[in-house]
Amino acid sequence: MKNLTDEELMLLVANGDLEKLSIIFDRYHLRIYNFFKKMLRDKTISEDLTQEVFIKILKYKSSYKSGNFASWIFTIARNIFTSHYQKNKKERANIINDDLISSNEEIASEGNKEAIEHLQKSLQQLSVSDRELIVMHRYQGINYEQIAEILGSSAGAIKVKTHRALKKLKNMYFQTIEG
């Protein structure tokens, strides 16, 4: 059963084989969690929102119609993030969480930790849409075509927007270092 594609597994879940959701969870929970963690920089909220994604998958399993599963699940995650973001705009401005984001960053040297923290602060200064593109493409490894499907755009437009967002991030990063 582990050799089934994500799409095949989700179709089985949609048809009532709920045990297959555990395989999907094993494959995706860390990626979804990391998406939220990069967007929010809050471990607890990221865990809660990740759980909400899988609750929604279960609740709306019959709406899955054999499209690209990664795009479908990240669309759900993005919608949950957007909803959370809108509800918590004021609170979000006050949250500063010093947790390092990924296990790779946790083993970084002191100098690298400082640079990574600076990068994360710069990332948080970007608009939500720019930050979302960078997190999906660079941190989650989602390709331009899948991001385009998630956002309802073209792959070419997403590539250009991501390039521009990375340029803004680079400028922000170096402005605050030099300033």
pLDDT, mean of each 10-residue run, the chain (179 residues): 87 94 96 93 93 95 90 94 77 37 45 75 90 90 91 93 91 72
In sequence order, the 6+-apart residues with CB closer than 8 A to the CB of 60 are: 76
Per DSSP, the residues of 36-53 read HHHHH--HHHHHHHHHHH
Architecture of domain 1-99 in this structure: Orthogonal Bundle (1.10)
* Secondary-structure breakdown of the chain: helix, strand, coil percentages, each rounded to the nearest 5: 80, 0, 20
pLDDT for the residue numbered 99: 36
pLDDT for the residue numbered 111: 56
pLDDT for the residue numbered 100: 34
Q: Which residue intervals of the chain bear CATH 1.10.1740.10?
A: 1-99
pLDDT for the residue numbered 138: 87
pLDDT for the residue numbered 2: 64
User: On the CB side of 170, how many CA atoms lie within 13 Å of its CA?
Assistant: 6
Q: Which residue intervals of the chain bear CATH 1.10.10.10?
A: 104-179
pLDDT for the residue numbered 66: 82
3 state DSSP class of 140: coil
- Class for domain 104-179, per CATH? mainly alpha
pTM of the model: 0.65
Q: Is 119 exposed, middle or buried (0-12, 13-18, 19+ CB in 10 A)?
A: middle
| Tokens coding 97 | 């969480």
Q: How far is CA 162 from the centre of its chain?
A: 14
Distance CA 75, CA 5 (A): 19
* CB atoms near residue 70 (< 10 Å): 20
